[in-house]
Amino acid sequence: MRQTLGAMQNETSPTEGHGGASLGRLATMVGSGISNQVGAAAGAHAFSAIGPAGVVAMRQIVAAAVLLPIARPCIRKMTWPQWWPTLLLAVVFATMNLTLYTAIDRIGLGLAVTLEFLGPLGVALFGSRSRVHLLVAISAAAGVYVLVLPGPSSDYIGIGLGLIAAACWAAYILLNRTLGARLPGLQAPAVATSLSALLYLPIIVALIAQGRLSGLPLFYAITAGVLSSVVPYAADLIVLRHVPPRLFGTFMSMYPVWAALAGLLMLDQVPALHVWIGIAVIAASNVVAVITADRGEPDGSTERVPSRHALTTAAAESC
């Protein structure tokens, strides 16, 4: 896995130069999405023992352990214009994962991930003057209402946490675009993930001291780190070298569906009919937003919808 990531980091051929995707690459995109949600479901099994914060802490440590030796960031050479977005990205990583996992614990995997998915969809639609995109935004809002069906029994805290995770995903996309022009390869996410892991270190120490970080909870937490971070990092980096971003964004629309299925099969979370309808409407809205992206902004400035792991793949500089 590390060799794969390292090879992809040093590859410089552009994604946009390829017009299609082989069956193997399509399978890789599907596998990446499923791995991400299966990892989240595995992490949910450890919530009762170590809590969402403990699972997030282990996930960050696993990701940092993989990224740091591959990226070998030149920390001593980083300038302030490189540091400030990296520091913000570390805060985004820490906040996004914690709010998402806490939302999963409160409202279920399918609903939480679908709400989080509004982040990249919002970035794709922001600033567009297209009537089609206006209709997409309206349909997405309607999908959210159907998905949540607000009422006296609604868990508004869980819903709010899912929306915070969505805002963090949007911030991730914008910060990653900035860092892609300022730091090569995987250096920015490696440093940001490591800083985020340091923020969670006291939680790891406390869990170890209490004897709670062992056995199955530890296994589930590490599994979440591998399946939700390491596997998607490698898979998405490989695919994004050969698959157009528009096609990749379309496949991303299945993330809420994979999440709902993972919650159903692994956590016995049975989504109500209105949840499935809301997921379908929001996923369809994203597909339309992706395939019509160029029509809304003829100058090509429209932000495409990247994966959470759609990191910059420019060649790395040596320290």
Q: Does 201 fall in a domain?
A: yes
**pLDDT mean over 242-256:** 79
**pLDDT mean over 167-179:** 87
Q: Does 73 fall in a domain?
A: yes
Cα angle 251, 254, 260; round to 5: 160
Q: Does 287 or 311 have the greater pLDDT score?
A: 287
**Neighbour-count burial of 17, counting CB atoms closer than 10 A to its CB (0-12 exposed, 13-18 middle, 19+ buried):** exposed
Q: Does 311 fall in a domain?
A: no
Within a 10 A sphere around the Cβ of 142, how many other Cβ atoms?
A: 14
Query: Based on the structure, what is the number of domains in the chain?
Result: 1
Q: What is the pTM of this model?
A: 0.82
What is the Cα–Cα distance from 61 to 59, expressed in whole angstroms?
5
Residues of the domain holding 127:
20-296
Q: Closest Cα to residue 286, out of 302, 303, 305, 300?
A: 305
pLDDT, tens only, 107-117: 999 999 999 99
Q: Does 308 fall in a domain?
A: no
Give yes or no for residue 312 having a pLDDT over 70.
no
Q: Does 314 fall in a domain?
A: no
Task: Give the lowest-confidence range in 77-91, 100-114, 125-139.
Answer: 125-139
Half-sphere exposure of 96 (CA within 13 A, CB side): 24
Residues 6+ apart with CB under 8 A from 151: none
Q: Does 116 fall in a domain?
A: yes
Mean pLDDT taken over the chain: 83
Q: Does 310 fall in a domain?
A: no
Give yes or no for residue 21 having a pLDDT over 90.
no
Question: In the prediction, which pLDDT does 294 show?
Answer: 60
Whole-angstrom Cα Rg for the chain: 19
Question: In the prediction, which pLDDT does 196 show?
Answer: 93
Question: In the prediction, which pLDDT does 302 show?
Answer: 39
Q: Does 190 fall in a domain?
A: yes
pLDDT, tens only, 229-241: 888 877 776 776 6
What is the Cα–Cα distance from 225 to 213, expressed in whole angstroms?
15
**pLDDT mean over 145-168:** 92
